[in-house]
Structure 1
Amino acid sequence: MVLLELFSGIGGFSKGLEAAGYTFDKVYFSEIDKHAIANFKYNYPYAEHIGTVTEIESVDISQPNVITFGSPCQNFSIAGDGTGLQGKESSLIRYAIEAVRRFKPDVFIWENVKGVLFSKHCNDFWNIIQAFANIGGYRLEWQLFNTAWFLPQNRERIYLVGRLAEKCTGDVFSFPAPGGMHGSFGKDATPSRACGTITKNYGKQPNMGNYVLCIKPGDVYNGKLTPDQIKGLRMLTEVECERLQGFPDDFTKYGNYGDETKVISRINRYSLLGNAVSVPVVKAVATRIKNNTAIV
Protein backbone atom coordinates (compact mmCIF):
# COMPACT_ATOMS: atom_id res chain seq x y z
CA MET A 1 0.00 0.00 0.00
CA VAL A 2 0.93 3.66 -0.40
CA LEU A 3 0.53 6.38 2.26
CA LEU A 4 0.38 10.13 1.69
CA GLU A 5 0.74 12.27 4.82
CA LEU A 6 -0.20 15.92 4.28
CA PHE A 7 0.72 18.50 6.93
CA SER A 8 2.74 15.56 8.22
CA GLY A 9 4.69 17.11 11.08
CA ILE A 10 6.92 14.39 12.54
CA GLY A 11 4.84 11.50 11.21
CA GLY A 12 2.40 10.79 14.00
CA PHE A 13 -0.06 9.28 11.53
CA SER A 14 2.66 7.00 10.15
CA LYS A 15 3.53 5.91 13.67
CA GLY A 16 -0.10 5.28 14.62
CA LEU A 17 -0.88 3.37 11.44
CA GLU A 18 2.25 1.30 11.93
CA ALA A 19 1.16 0.52 15.50
CA ALA A 20 -2.22 -0.62 14.15
CA GLY A 21 -0.52 -3.16 11.88
CA TYR A 22 -0.44 -1.27 8.59
CA THR A 23 2.55 -1.69 6.28
CA PHE A 24 3.33 0.60 3.37
CA ASP A 25 5.52 -0.01 0.35
CA LYS A 26 5.81 3.72 -0.16
CA VAL A 27 5.32 6.76 2.08
CA TYR A 28 5.06 10.32 0.77
CA PHE A 29 4.89 13.31 3.09
CA SER A 30 4.23 17.02 2.68
CA GLU A 31 5.54 19.49 5.26
CA ILE A 32 7.18 22.93 5.31
CA ASP A 33 8.79 23.07 8.78
CA LYS A 34 12.46 22.22 8.30
CA HIS A 35 12.83 20.52 11.68
CA ALA A 36 9.74 18.36 11.15
CA ILE A 37 11.02 17.40 7.69
CA ALA A 38 14.43 16.52 9.11
CA ASN A 39 12.94 14.45 11.92
CA PHE A 40 10.58 12.63 9.54
CA LYS A 41 13.50 11.79 7.26
CA TYR A 42 15.53 10.52 10.22
CA ASN A 43 12.81 8.20 11.52
CA TYR A 44 11.48 7.18 8.09
CA PRO A 45 14.50 7.22 5.74
CA TYR A 46 12.50 5.42 3.02
CA ALA A 47 9.85 8.19 2.92
CA GLU A 48 9.82 10.78 0.15
CA HIS A 49 9.27 14.47 0.88
CA ILE A 50 7.05 15.99 -1.84
CA GLY A 51 7.25 19.63 -0.80
CA THR A 52 4.44 22.00 0.06
CA VAL A 53 0.79 20.97 0.04
CA THR A 54 -0.02 23.92 -2.23
CA GLU A 55 1.55 21.99 -5.11
CA ILE A 56 -0.57 18.85 -4.60
CA GLU A 57 -2.39 19.34 -7.91
CA SER A 58 0.79 18.79 -9.92
CA VAL A 59 2.94 16.47 -7.81
CA ASP A 60 3.90 13.19 -9.51
CA ILE A 61 3.41 10.32 -7.05
CA SER A 62 2.00 6.80 -6.99
CA GLN A 63 -1.69 6.33 -6.22
CA PRO A 64 -2.07 6.52 -2.40
CA ASN A 65 -4.36 4.03 -0.65
CA VAL A 66 -4.46 6.18 2.49
CA ILE A 67 -4.25 9.97 2.84
CA THR A 68 -3.91 11.60 6.27
CA PHE A 69 -3.90 15.25 7.21
CA GLY A 70 -3.87 17.21 10.43
CA SER A 71 -4.41 20.53 8.69
CA PRO A 72 -3.47 23.79 10.48
CA CYS A 73 -5.81 24.54 13.37
CA GLN A 74 -4.89 28.12 14.33
CA ASN A 75 -8.08 29.75 13.05
CA PHE A 76 -10.33 27.15 14.70
CA SER A 77 -8.47 27.02 18.01
CA ILE A 78 -9.67 28.69 21.21
CA ALA A 79 -6.31 30.49 21.25
CA GLY A 80 -6.66 31.56 17.62
CA ASP A 81 -8.35 34.49 15.92
CA GLY A 82 -11.64 32.70 15.27
CA THR A 83 -11.62 33.28 11.53
CA GLY A 84 -12.15 29.60 10.70
CA LEU A 85 -11.98 28.71 7.03
CA GLN A 86 -11.46 32.38 6.21
CA GLY A 87 -8.14 32.27 8.05
CA LYS A 88 -4.85 31.92 6.21
CA GLU A 89 -3.76 28.71 7.94
CA SER A 90 -6.97 26.71 8.40
CA SER A 91 -8.10 27.42 4.85
CA LEU A 92 -5.24 25.21 3.65
CA ILE A 93 -7.51 22.21 4.15
CA ARG A 94 -8.73 22.94 0.63
CA TYR A 95 -5.54 21.33 -0.66
CA ALA A 96 -6.26 18.16 1.29
CA ILE A 97 -9.76 18.12 -0.21
CA GLU A 98 -8.18 18.51 -3.64
CA ALA A 99 -5.81 15.60 -2.89
CA VAL A 100 -8.76 13.35 -2.02
CA ARG A 101 -10.57 14.47 -5.17
CA ARG A 102 -7.54 13.84 -7.35
CA PHE A 103 -6.30 10.53 -5.95
CA LYS A 104 -9.55 8.97 -4.66
CA PRO A 105 -7.80 6.98 -1.89
CA ASP A 106 -9.49 4.02 -0.24
CA VAL A 107 -9.32 5.85 3.10
CA PHE A 108 -8.59 9.37 4.32
CA ILE A 109 -8.31 10.67 7.88
CA TRP A 110 -8.54 14.30 9.02
CA GLU A 111 -7.55 15.47 12.52
CA ASN A 112 -8.19 18.90 14.00
CA VAL A 113 -8.99 20.77 17.21
CA LYS A 114 -12.44 20.50 18.76
CA GLY A 115 -12.96 24.19 17.93
CA VAL A 116 -14.26 23.13 14.50
CA LEU A 117 -17.35 21.90 16.38
CA PHE A 118 -18.01 25.21 18.14
CA SER A 119 -21.21 26.93 17.12
CA LYS A 120 -19.35 29.83 15.49
CA HIS A 121 -17.53 27.38 13.20
CA CYS A 122 -20.49 25.10 12.59
CA ASN A 123 -21.03 26.30 9.02
CA ASP A 124 -17.32 25.89 8.26
CA PHE A 125 -17.37 22.33 9.56
CA TRP A 126 -20.45 21.51 7.52
CA ASN A 127 -18.85 23.05 4.43
CA ILE A 128 -15.88 20.72 4.89
CA ILE A 129 -18.21 17.73 5.22
CA GLN A 130 -20.09 18.87 2.12
CA ALA A 131 -16.87 19.28 0.13
CA PHE A 132 -15.87 15.70 0.87
CA ALA A 133 -19.39 14.44 0.19
CA ASN A 134 -19.41 16.22 -3.18
CA ILE A 135 -16.40 14.18 -4.30
CA GLY A 136 -18.76 11.21 -4.29
CA GLY A 137 -18.39 7.60 -3.30
CA TYR A 138 -17.31 8.09 0.32
CA ARG A 139 -18.91 7.25 3.62
CA LEU A 140 -17.92 9.91 6.16
CA GLU A 141 -17.79 9.47 9.92
CA TRP A 142 -16.44 11.68 12.67
CA GLN A 143 -15.93 11.67 16.41
CA LEU A 144 -14.39 13.83 19.10
CA PHE A 145 -11.56 12.02 20.90
CA ASN A 146 -9.58 12.85 24.02
CA THR A 147 -6.00 11.69 24.43
CA ALA A 148 -6.88 11.33 28.13
CA TRP A 149 -8.63 8.07 27.19
CA PHE A 150 -5.17 6.66 26.49
CA LEU A 151 -2.53 8.89 28.11
CA PRO A 152 -2.41 11.42 30.99
CA GLN A 153 -3.10 14.61 29.07
CA ASN A 154 -6.33 16.41 28.21
CA ARG A 155 -6.22 16.88 24.42
CA GLU A 156 -9.53 16.89 22.58
CA ARG A 157 -9.39 16.45 18.82
CA ILE A 158 -11.90 15.63 16.12
CA TYR A 159 -11.16 12.73 13.77
CA LEU A 160 -13.02 12.48 10.48
CA VAL A 161 -12.70 9.28 8.44
CA GLY A 162 -13.70 8.88 4.81
CA ARG A 163 -13.87 5.42 3.23
CA LEU A 164 -14.96 4.29 -0.21
CA ALA A 165 -18.53 3.25 0.48
CA GLU A 166 -18.37 -0.07 -1.37
CA LYS A 167 -15.41 -1.15 0.77
CA CYS A 168 -17.13 -0.55 4.14
CA THR A 169 -17.96 -3.72 6.07
CA GLY A 170 -18.92 -1.95 9.29
CA ASP A 171 -18.86 1.38 11.11
CA VAL A 172 -15.71 3.04 12.46
CA PHE A 173 -17.58 5.24 14.96
CA SER A 174 -18.96 5.55 17.52
CA PHE A 175 -15.76 4.49 19.20
CA PRO A 176 -16.16 2.36 22.34
CA ALA A 177 -14.66 4.97 24.63
CA PRO A 178 -16.29 7.18 27.26
CA GLY A 179 -18.51 9.95 25.98
CA GLY A 180 -17.34 10.28 22.37
CA MET A 181 -19.45 12.67 20.29
CA HIS A 182 -19.86 11.35 16.77
CA GLY A 183 -21.75 11.68 13.52
CA SER A 184 -21.93 10.15 10.07
CA PHE A 185 -22.83 10.94 6.49
CA GLY A 186 -23.31 8.26 3.87
CA LYS A 187 -25.74 6.29 1.78
CA ASP A 188 -27.75 5.05 4.76
CA ALA A 189 -26.93 7.84 7.19
CA THR A 190 -28.87 10.96 8.07
CA PRO A 191 -26.42 13.88 8.28
CA SER A 192 -26.41 15.96 11.43
CA ARG A 193 -24.36 19.06 12.03
CA ALA A 194 -22.91 17.75 15.30
CA CYS A 195 -22.19 21.32 16.39
CA GLY A 196 -22.90 23.32 19.52
CA THR A 197 -23.41 20.30 21.75
CA ILE A 198 -20.12 20.21 23.63
CA THR A 199 -20.76 20.81 27.32
CA LYS A 200 -18.45 22.56 29.76
CA ASN A 201 -17.39 19.30 31.37
CA TYR A 202 -17.17 17.28 28.17
CA GLY A 203 -14.29 14.83 28.11
CA LYS A 204 -13.54 14.84 31.85
CA GLN A 205 -13.16 11.33 33.15
CA PRO A 206 -13.66 10.27 36.80
CA ASN A 207 -10.67 9.45 38.94
CA MET A 208 -8.19 10.58 36.30
CA GLY A 209 -6.64 13.30 38.46
CA ASN A 210 -5.37 16.69 37.29
CA TYR A 211 -2.82 16.91 34.49
CA VAL A 212 -0.19 19.56 34.42
CA LEU A 213 2.16 21.21 31.95
CA CYS A 214 4.77 21.67 34.64
CA ILE A 215 5.14 19.05 37.34
CA LYS A 216 6.68 18.67 40.76
CA PRO A 217 6.56 15.37 42.66
CA GLY A 218 3.82 15.44 45.28
CA ASP A 219 2.22 18.64 43.99
CA VAL A 220 -1.03 18.97 42.09
CA TYR A 221 -1.72 22.07 40.03
CA ASN A 222 -5.10 23.59 40.85
CA GLY A 223 -4.73 26.96 39.17
CA LYS A 224 -3.90 28.74 42.45
CA LEU A 225 -0.19 28.21 43.00
CA THR A 226 1.66 30.28 45.57
CA PRO A 227 4.98 31.96 44.62
CA ASP A 228 6.85 29.30 46.59
CA GLN A 229 5.07 26.56 44.68
CA ILE A 230 5.85 28.22 41.38
CA LYS A 231 9.56 28.26 42.25
CA GLY A 232 9.39 24.50 42.72
CA LEU A 233 7.93 23.74 39.31
CA ARG A 234 9.97 22.45 36.43
CA MET A 235 9.38 22.02 32.71
CA LEU A 236 8.45 18.64 31.38
CA THR A 237 11.42 17.02 29.67
CA GLU A 238 11.40 16.27 25.98
CA VAL A 239 11.10 12.54 26.69
CA GLU A 240 8.15 13.14 29.02
CA CYS A 241 6.42 15.10 26.25
CA GLU A 242 7.14 12.30 23.79
CA ARG A 243 5.55 9.82 26.18
CA LEU A 244 2.51 12.06 26.70
CA GLN A 245 1.98 11.96 22.94
CA GLY A 246 2.67 8.23 22.64
CA PHE A 247 5.99 8.44 20.80
CA PRO A 248 9.07 6.36 21.68
CA ASP A 249 11.71 7.98 23.86
CA ASP A 250 14.00 10.31 21.88
CA PHE A 251 11.82 10.08 18.76
CA THR A 252 12.32 13.82 18.19
CA LYS A 253 15.99 13.99 19.21
CA TYR A 254 17.58 13.80 15.77
CA GLY A 255 16.96 15.10 12.29
CA ASN A 256 18.49 14.56 8.86
CA TYR A 257 19.36 17.97 7.48
CA GLY A 258 20.60 17.29 3.97
CA ASP A 259 23.45 14.82 4.35
CA GLU A 260 24.04 15.60 8.02
CA THR A 261 22.34 14.19 11.11
CA LYS A 262 21.97 16.80 13.86
CA VAL A 263 20.47 16.99 17.33
CA ILE A 264 17.23 18.96 17.33
CA SER A 265 17.10 21.74 19.93
CA ARG A 266 14.92 21.39 23.00
CA ILE A 267 12.59 24.25 22.07
CA ASN A 268 12.06 22.81 18.58
CA ARG A 269 11.34 19.36 20.02
CA TYR A 270 8.62 20.89 22.22
CA SER A 271 7.13 22.60 19.17
CA LEU A 272 7.22 19.43 17.05
CA LEU A 273 5.47 17.42 19.75
CA GLY A 274 2.91 20.12 20.44
CA ASN A 275 1.90 20.07 16.78
CA ALA A 276 1.79 16.28 16.53
CA VAL A 277 -1.17 13.92 16.65
CA SER A 278 -1.37 11.53 19.61
CA VAL A 279 -0.13 8.14 18.43
CA PRO A 280 -2.50 5.94 20.51
CA VAL A 281 -5.53 7.83 19.19
CA VAL A 282 -4.41 7.30 15.59
CA LYS A 283 -3.76 3.63 16.38
CA ALA A 284 -7.25 3.21 17.82
CA VAL A 285 -8.93 4.89 14.85
CA ALA A 286 -6.77 3.02 12.33
CA THR A 287 -7.53 -0.31 14.00
CA ARG A 288 -11.26 0.32 13.71
CA ILE A 289 -10.81 1.23 10.04
CA LYS A 290 -8.80 -1.93 9.45
CA ASN A 291 -11.41 -4.14 11.09
CA ASN A 292 -14.31 -2.60 9.15
CA THR A 293 -12.96 -1.97 5.66
CA ALA A 294 -12.44 -4.58 2.97
CA ILE A 295 -9.19 -3.37 1.48
CA VAL A 296 -7.07 -2.36 4.46
Structure 2
Amino acid sequence: MNKLELFSGCGVFRLGFENAGYKFNKVIFSEINKHAIANYNYNFKKSIYAGSVIDIRSDELPEIDIISFGSPCQDFSIAGNGVPMKAGTLTAGGNSGGLHSDMTVIPVLTPDRLNKRQNGRRFKNEGEAAFTLNCQDKHGVMITKKHGSHQSQIRRLTEIECERLQGLPDDWTKYGLYEKGLKEIAKTRRYEMIGNAVSEPVVREVAKRIKKCLI
Protein backbone atom coordinates (compact mmCIF):
# COMPACT_ATOMS: atom_id res chain seq x y z
CA MET A 1 0.00 0.00 0.00
CA ASN A 2 1.30 3.46 -0.95
CA LYS A 3 0.32 6.76 0.64
CA LEU A 4 0.50 10.35 -0.55
CA GLU A 5 0.50 13.06 2.13
CA LEU A 6 -0.22 16.59 0.96
CA PHE A 7 0.39 19.51 3.36
CA SER A 8 2.06 16.87 5.50
CA GLY A 9 3.29 19.12 8.30
CA CYS A 10 5.04 17.10 11.00
CA GLY A 11 3.55 13.81 9.83
CA VAL A 12 0.55 13.33 12.12
CA PHE A 13 -1.53 11.72 9.36
CA ARG A 14 1.11 9.07 8.79
CA LEU A 15 1.55 8.56 12.52
CA GLY A 16 -2.19 8.09 13.01
CA PHE A 17 -2.48 5.59 10.18
CA GLU A 18 0.52 3.59 11.35
CA ASN A 19 -0.84 3.57 14.91
CA ALA A 20 -4.07 2.19 13.43
CA GLY A 21 -2.12 -0.74 12.02
CA TYR A 22 -1.49 0.35 8.43
CA LYS A 23 1.72 -0.76 6.73
CA PHE A 24 3.00 1.29 3.82
CA ASN A 25 5.48 0.28 1.15
CA LYS A 26 6.02 3.89 0.09
CA VAL A 27 5.00 7.23 1.58
CA ILE A 28 5.37 10.35 -0.55
CA PHE A 29 4.96 13.62 1.32
CA SER A 30 4.54 17.21 0.20
CA GLU A 31 5.33 20.24 2.37
CA ILE A 32 6.99 23.64 1.95
CA ASN A 33 7.94 24.54 5.55
CA LYS A 34 11.60 23.59 5.92
CA HIS A 35 11.29 22.80 9.63
CA ALA A 36 8.30 20.53 9.12
CA ILE A 37 10.14 18.80 6.27
CA ALA A 38 13.20 18.29 8.46
CA ASN A 39 11.09 16.99 11.34
CA TYR A 40 9.21 14.61 9.02
CA ASN A 41 12.49 13.25 7.68
CA TYR A 42 13.74 12.75 11.23
CA ASN A 43 10.67 10.85 12.43
CA PHE A 44 10.17 8.89 9.21
CA LYS A 45 13.54 7.99 7.76
CA LYS A 46 12.24 6.11 4.73
CA SER A 47 10.08 8.72 3.02
CA ILE A 48 10.00 10.34 -0.41
CA TYR A 49 9.83 14.13 -0.51
CA ALA A 50 7.79 15.42 -3.45
CA GLY A 51 8.19 19.17 -3.04
CA SER A 52 5.26 21.60 -3.15
CA VAL A 53 1.76 20.41 -4.01
CA ILE A 54 1.83 22.58 -7.14
CA ASP A 55 4.79 20.59 -8.45
CA ILE A 56 3.29 17.11 -8.01
CA ARG A 57 2.35 15.27 -11.20
CA SER A 58 0.40 12.07 -10.79
CA ASP A 59 2.00 10.47 -13.84
CA GLU A 60 5.32 10.66 -11.97
CA LEU A 61 3.94 8.92 -8.87
CA PRO A 62 3.73 5.23 -8.07
CA GLU A 63 0.23 3.83 -7.71
CA ILE A 64 -1.36 5.60 -4.74
CA ASP A 65 -3.88 3.91 -2.43
CA ILE A 66 -4.48 6.67 0.14
CA ILE A 67 -4.20 10.45 -0.06
CA SER A 68 -4.44 12.51 3.10
CA PHE A 69 -4.19 16.25 3.54
CA GLY A 70 -4.90 18.88 6.15
CA SER A 71 -5.02 22.01 4.05
CA PRO A 72 -3.92 25.41 5.38
CA CYS A 73 -6.97 27.27 6.67
CA GLN A 74 -5.64 30.83 6.85
CA ASP A 75 -7.13 32.00 3.55
CA PHE A 76 -10.70 31.13 4.49
CA SER A 77 -10.39 31.93 8.19
CA ILE A 78 -10.86 35.32 9.83
CA ALA A 79 -7.09 35.71 9.55
CA GLY A 80 -7.53 35.70 5.76
CA ASN A 81 -10.34 36.76 3.47
CA GLY A 82 -12.93 34.40 4.96
CA VAL A 83 -13.86 32.83 1.62
CA PRO A 84 -14.94 29.17 2.00
CA MET A 85 -12.95 26.54 0.15
CA LYS A 86 -14.63 25.22 -2.99
CA ALA A 87 -14.90 21.51 -3.58
CA GLY A 88 -12.18 20.16 -5.83
CA THR A 89 -9.75 23.04 -5.36
CA LEU A 90 -7.14 20.89 -3.61
CA THR A 91 -5.94 18.32 -6.14
CA ALA A 92 -2.67 16.83 -7.26
CA GLY A 93 -1.48 18.27 -10.56
CA GLY A 94 -1.33 16.41 -13.85
CA ASN A 95 -3.44 13.50 -14.99
CA SER A 96 -4.69 10.55 -12.96
CA GLY A 97 -2.22 8.03 -14.34
CA GLY A 98 -0.71 7.17 -10.96
CA LEU A 99 -3.91 7.04 -8.91
CA HIS A 100 -6.08 4.02 -8.19
CA SER A 101 -9.70 4.39 -9.18
CA ASP A 102 -10.63 3.03 -5.75
CA MET A 103 -8.13 5.08 -3.76
CA THR A 104 -9.15 6.64 -0.47
CA VAL A 105 -8.90 10.43 -0.13
CA ILE A 106 -9.03 11.80 3.40
CA PRO A 107 -9.24 15.58 3.73
CA VAL A 108 -9.25 16.82 7.32
CA LEU A 109 -9.48 20.52 8.08
CA THR A 110 -8.90 22.19 11.38
CA PRO A 111 -12.08 23.12 13.32
CA ASP A 112 -14.33 25.85 11.95
CA ARG A 113 -11.94 28.78 11.61
CA LEU A 114 -14.74 31.19 10.81
CA ASN A 115 -15.66 30.93 14.49
CA LYS A 116 -12.15 30.71 15.88
CA ARG A 117 -9.68 33.50 16.45
CA GLN A 118 -6.09 32.78 15.46
CA ASN A 119 -4.84 33.50 18.98
CA GLY A 120 -6.53 30.35 20.19
CA ARG A 121 -9.79 31.79 21.56
CA ARG A 122 -12.90 30.21 20.08
CA PHE A 123 -16.27 31.81 20.74
CA LYS A 124 -19.20 29.47 21.20
CA ASN A 125 -22.82 30.23 20.38
CA GLU A 126 -23.69 30.82 24.00
CA GLY A 127 -21.01 33.49 24.26
CA GLU A 128 -18.52 31.43 26.24
CA ALA A 129 -14.91 31.11 25.18
CA ALA A 130 -12.72 28.02 24.90
CA PHE A 131 -8.97 28.13 24.37
CA THR A 132 -7.36 25.99 21.70
CA LEU A 133 -3.82 25.40 20.52
CA ASN A 134 -2.49 27.94 18.07
CA CYS A 135 0.48 28.21 15.75
CA GLN A 136 1.39 31.80 16.64
CA ASP A 137 4.06 31.73 19.30
CA LYS A 138 3.90 35.50 19.89
CA HIS A 139 0.43 35.13 21.40
CA GLY A 140 1.46 32.20 23.56
CA VAL A 141 -0.53 29.28 24.87
CA MET A 142 -1.34 30.04 28.47
CA ILE A 143 -2.61 28.18 31.50
CA THR A 144 -3.12 29.31 35.08
CA LYS A 145 -1.19 27.74 37.94
CA LYS A 146 -2.47 28.84 41.32
CA HIS A 147 -0.26 29.43 44.35
CA GLY A 148 -2.25 29.89 47.53
CA SER A 149 -5.56 31.67 47.75
CA HIS A 150 -4.46 35.13 46.68
CA GLN A 151 -1.79 34.62 44.04
CA SER A 152 -1.71 32.99 40.65
CA GLN A 153 1.02 32.55 38.08
CA ILE A 154 0.35 32.50 34.34
CA ARG A 155 2.70 30.48 32.21
CA ARG A 156 2.99 29.18 28.68
CA LEU A 157 2.31 25.53 27.94
CA THR A 158 5.56 23.74 27.19
CA GLU A 159 6.20 22.15 23.82
CA ILE A 160 5.76 18.68 25.32
CA GLU A 161 2.44 19.67 26.92
CA CYS A 162 1.22 20.91 23.53
CA GLU A 163 2.39 17.70 21.87
CA ARG A 164 0.46 15.67 24.43
CA LEU A 165 -2.69 17.71 23.79
CA GLN A 166 -2.38 16.75 20.12
CA GLY A 167 -1.82 13.10 21.03
CA LEU A 168 1.82 13.15 19.94
CA PRO A 169 4.75 11.39 21.62
CA ASP A 170 6.92 13.57 23.84
CA ASP A 171 9.50 15.57 21.84
CA TRP A 172 7.94 14.55 18.52
CA THR A 173 8.81 17.98 17.10
CA LYS A 174 12.17 18.45 18.85
CA TYR A 175 14.58 17.37 16.10
CA GLY A 176 14.91 17.74 12.37
CA LEU A 177 17.12 16.31 9.65
CA TYR A 178 18.23 19.32 7.61
CA GLU A 179 20.56 19.46 4.63
CA LYS A 180 23.47 20.02 7.01
CA GLY A 181 22.44 17.22 9.33
CA LEU A 182 20.59 16.67 12.60
CA LYS A 183 19.55 19.83 14.41
CA GLU A 184 17.34 20.70 17.36
CA ILE A 185 14.32 22.72 16.25
CA ALA A 186 13.67 26.09 17.86
CA LYS A 187 10.77 26.35 20.31
CA THR A 188 8.98 28.91 18.14
CA ARG A 189 8.98 26.50 15.20
CA ARG A 190 7.86 23.62 17.39
CA TYR A 191 4.84 25.58 18.61
CA GLU A 192 4.08 26.46 15.00
CA MET A 193 4.18 22.83 13.85
CA ILE A 194 2.09 21.58 16.76
CA GLY A 195 -0.52 24.30 16.32
CA ASN A 196 -0.76 23.57 12.59
CA ALA A 197 -1.13 19.83 13.15
CA VAL A 198 -4.26 17.72 13.36
CA SER A 199 -4.83 15.53 16.42
CA GLU A 200 -3.37 12.03 16.15
CA PRO A 201 -6.22 10.26 18.01
CA VAL A 202 -8.71 11.70 15.50
CA VAL A 203 -6.68 10.50 12.51
CA ARG A 204 -6.19 7.09 14.13
CA GLU A 205 -9.92 6.64 14.72
CA VAL A 206 -10.76 7.66 11.14
CA ALA A 207 -8.13 5.24 9.85
CA LYS A 208 -9.55 2.39 11.94
CA ARG A 209 -13.03 2.97 10.57
CA ILE A 210 -11.74 3.05 7.01
CA LYS A 211 -10.01 -0.28 7.60
CA LYS A 212 -13.29 -1.82 8.74
CA CYS A 213 -14.92 -0.68 5.50
CA LEU A 214 -12.11 -2.20 3.44
CA ILE A 215 -12.30 -5.62 5.06
Amino acid paired to 1:49: Y
| Counterpart for residue 208 of structure 2 | 287
| Counterpart for residue 144 of structure 2 | 216
Q: What secondary structure sits across from 2:76 in the alignment?
A: coil
Following superposition, the deviation at residue 292 of structure 1 comes to: 1.4
| Counterpart for residue 63 of structure 2 | 63
- Contact residue 64 and residue 105 of structure 1 kept, 8 A: no
Following superposition, the deviation at residue 78 of structure 1 comes to: 3.7
Q: What secondary structure sits across from 1:27 in the alignment?
A: strand
Following superposition, the deviation at residue 114 of structure 1 comes to: 3.9
Question: Which structure features the higher share of helix residues?
Answer: 1
Following superposition, the deviation at residue 105 of structure 1 comes to: 5.2
Aligned-partner Cα distance in 2 for 1:98–1:51: 12
Match among 167, 174, 177 for residue 253 of structure 1: 174
Matched, 1:40 2:71: no
| Counterpart for residue 13 of structure 1 | 13
- Contact residue 54 and residue 95 of structure 1 kept, 8 A: no
Indicate the percent of aligned positions where both proteins have the same amino acid: 44
Following superposition, the deviation at residue 16 of structure 1 comes to: 0.5
Amino acid paired to 2:204: K
Worse-superposed segment, 254-263 or 106-115: 106-115
Distance 1:233 1:7, change over 3 A: same
Match among 187, 190, 193 for residue 269 of structure 1: 190
Distance 1:35 1:5, change over 3 A: same
| Counterpart for residue 125 of structure 2 | 200
| Counterpart for residue 51 of structure 2 | 51
Q: What secondary structure sits across from 2:42 in the alignment?
A: helix
Q: What secondary structure sits across from 1:113 in the alignment?
A: coil
Question: Which structure features the higher share of strand residues?
Answer: 2
Distance 1:66 1:19, change over 3 A: same
Matched, 1:233 2:158: no
Q: Encode CA deviations 1:215-241: one digit per residue, 9 max, x unaligned.
A: 23348xxxxxxxx75xx2111100001
- List gaps (5 residues or longer) in structure 1: 119-153, 157-198, 220-227
Following superposition, the deviation at residue 108 of structure 1 comes to: 1.0
Match among 88, 94, 102 for residue 89 of structure 2: 94
Aligned-partner Cα distance in 2 for 1:46–1:155: 38
- List gaps (5 residues or longer) in structure 2: 134-140
Aligned-partner Cα distance in 2 for 1:112–1:99: 24
Following superposition, the deviation at residue 112 of structure 1 comes to: 1.1
Aligned-partner Cα distance in 2 for 1:260–1:211: 33
Q: What secondary structure sits across from 1:216 in the alignment?
A: strand
TM-score scaled by length of structure 2: 0.79
Aligned-partner Cα distance in 1 for 2:94–2:169: 30
Aligned-partner Cα distance in 1 for 2:91–2:205: 22
Following superposition, the deviation at residue 117 of structure 1 comes to: 8.6
Aligned-partner Cα distance in 2 for 1:288–1:46: 26
Q: What secondary structure sits across from 2:109 in the alignment?
A: strand
Aligned-partner Cα distance in 2 for 1:100–1:270: 37
Q: Encode CA deviations 1:156-182: one digit per residue, 9 max, x unaligned.
A: 9xxxxxxxxxxxxxxxxxxxxxxxxxx
Distance 1:69 1:105, change over 3 A: farther
- Contact residue 6 and residue 31 of structure 1 kept, 8 A: yes
Cα RMSD (Å): 3.2
Following superposition, the deviation at residue 285 of structure 1 comes to: 0.7
TM-score scaled by length of structure 1: 0.59
